[in-house]
Structure 1
Amino acid sequence: MSIRVGIGGWTYEPWRGSFYPKGLPHARELEHAARAVTSIEVNGTFYRTQTPKTFRAWAEAVPEGFVFSLKAPRYATNRRVLAEAGESIGKFVDSGLAELGDKLGPINWQFAPTKAFDPDDFAAFLDLLPEMAGGLALRHAVEVRHESFCCPAFLDLVRARNVAVVVADSPDYPQIADVTADFVYARLQDAKAEIETGYEAAALDDWADRARRWEKGGTPEGLRTIAPHPAGTAKKKRDCFLYFINGAKERAPAAAQALLGRLK
């Protein structure tokens, strides 16, 4: 499976009795969610350090083929000088990520909306991101949310390191849909509470088409790009990760399942 669709986290009170069957023990919510969607972005890793035991338990609770994406810790990204984040990055990478095995997906390094692009400092930060953890290859995505990143210089930095730029579908943050890595990471944050599936059917059709085009190595239309991909680059199949997150979060599971239905 090269296109995965999911939600952010699995512990959310409004999902109980709607997405989760009434009376389902809270301890079994991950198990249930992992059989309804094909990936989950874990937000808890953004706020606190997890343990190898926790990562191992998550891996054991989900079926084969399921993948977790992890939000990297805020201590690494919410700082004035990114080049000084090495200790925080190392602590996170060594906290037991390898216990997820082949269920470890990309790591999302999310930056504050006020964090502006400093070419030298951001390049130094990217150079701190490790390629491996416990024998597992790591894939990194950066979620930048300041308009100053909408420039070719930023895209040159991430392309040179095979780091993806998170594609944001949000009314609050700039969109950069340039493909810069061998995978694509999108966060869909514009769901509407009054729509049962969060997004209108036509919008879900569009996202299904975009996912297929990305997966086949193409570039979908209708999204904002900053600098064209270098000419002559061979089209290669890509893994794609799309998450319905924030927005009308109560609609996220229905949105993810509706999109998965279109991709089957």
Structure 2
Amino acid sequence: MTMLQHLPYRLGCPSWNAPAWRGAFYPADLRAGESLGYYVRTFNAVEGNTTFHARPAAATVRRWAETMPADFRFCAKLPRDISHQGDLRDHLQATTEFLDLLAPLGPRVAPLWLQLPARFGPERLDELAAWLDHLAPRELAVEVRHPAFFARGAEERALNRLLHARGVERICLDSRALFACTAGDPAVQHAQSKKPRLPVRAAAFSGSPQVRFIGGPDLEANQAWLLPWVERVAAWIEQGSTPHVFLHTPDNRLAAEQALRFHALLRGRLPGLPELHAPVAAAPQPALF
């Protein structure tokens, strides 16, 4: 059993193939096709952004299955043509075909993520319910962005009841640290133009709460926003849940370092956790505190 299998939670980044990680988190001469093999030495989950933008080739999925440990979790996002185009009920067959494509990964695809656009509002909850029921009992998580779902009114309560009744997680998105940035960094400006700016909802509707933390490029400045999540995640673990935590930075150049910093903070709260390191210490790592 590996050290990662002893972790009582899931930790990862939006992807495993960030070119800027070479020479810092990865060896400088690492080939792109080798990235996953190094990533899984440190992290036990990944936010599957790649499947949102394009379906992988079947041969690619087979290579992933050969590389990912059995206990690894690939939180695959439904392709955007399913989640963002038309009625979800019209995409049930496409959803099944997507799951068939990922079948070589087996139970590592958990939970499956449905990221809905801001235009997906309360009037479409019946549509969401039908899609979720079609996939039951698969482990699922949903991210919503319509303002009505953050207004603490009847619409938000209806959404929460729908998800809670099915044991489907409401993904906790926290972009406050990103929007606290005022620097004119092009990567920050691009991220601020793309990422949603919504109130935080620390939901836990099943045994695997899902957290997406989107920070800025200053990891020290991010810490003030990250510390409440350290306490929340520690409390979930103490309650017997298995939280999933994914760390972003504007261009994700520092996402791996941000994830390691989160784990170091969590170890301060839960001292029994093992220490995590970059898979190859190609350069001295900066002090965390």
Distance 2:159 2:71 in 1: 33
Matched residue, 2:203:
178
**TM-score, structure 1 as length reference:** 0.80
CA contact (8 A) 2:77 2:113 kept: yes
| 2:218 is aligned with 1:194 | yes
Distance 1:130 1:90, change over 3 A: farther
Comparing both structures, which one devotes a greater share of its residues to strand?
A: 1
| Deviation of 1:247 (Å) | 3.1
Matched residue, 1:238:
241
| Deviation of 1:36 (Å) | 2.1
Q: Map Cα deviations across residues 56-105 of structure 1 (whole Å, 9 max, x no partner).
A: 3113223453222111111211023222221221111111x231134332
| Deviation of 1:254 (Å) | 0.4
Distance 2:55 2:95 in 1: 11
Distance 1:240 1:18, change over 3 A: same
Distance 2:77 2:244 in 1: 14
Distance 1:173 1:147 in 2: 8
DSSP-derived class of the 1:183 partner:
coil
Correspondent of 1:153 among 140, 158, 173: 158
Matched residue, 2:270:
none
Comparing both structures, which one devotes a greater share of its residues to helix?
A: 2
Matched residue, 1:49:
55
Distance 2:56 2:28 in 1: 29
| Deviation of 1:52 (Å) | 4.3
Correspondent of 1:104 among 84, 87, 109: 109
The total of aligned residue pairs comes to 235
- Structure 2 letter corresponding to 1:240: P
Distance 1:141 1:246, change over 3 A: farther
Q: List alignment gaps of at least 5 residues for structure 1.
A: 132-137, 218-236
DSSP-derived class of the 1:153 partner:
helix
- What is the root-mean-square deviation of aligned Cα atoms in Å? 2.1
CA contact (8 A) 1:115 1:146 kept: yes
Q: Map Cα deviations across residues 16-59 of structure 1 (whole Å, 9 max, x no partner).
A: 22222211122211111111222111212112223443223113
Correspondent of 2:36 among 30, 38, 46: 30
CA contact (8 A) 1:141 1:164 kept: yes
Matched residue, 2:192:
none
Q: List alignment gaps of at least 5 residues for structure 2.
A: 1-6, 151-155, 177-196, 268-272, 274-289
Percent identity of equivalent pairs: 29
Distance 2:97 2:18 in 1: 28
| Deviation of 1:204 (Å) | 3.8
Correspondent of 1:15 among 8, 13, 21: 21
| Deviation of 1:207 (Å) | 2.1
Distance 1:248 1:44, change over 3 A: closer
Q: Map Cα deviations across residues 135-177 of structure 1 (whole Å, 9 max, x no partner).
A: xxx3100010112123111111111111100001114133222
Q: Map Cα deviations across residues 178-226 of structure 1 (whole Å, 9 max, x no partner).
A: 222221111111x121336x722x5444322211212233xxxxxxxxx
**TM-score, structure 2 as length reference:** 0.74
Distance 1:42 1:79 in 2: 19
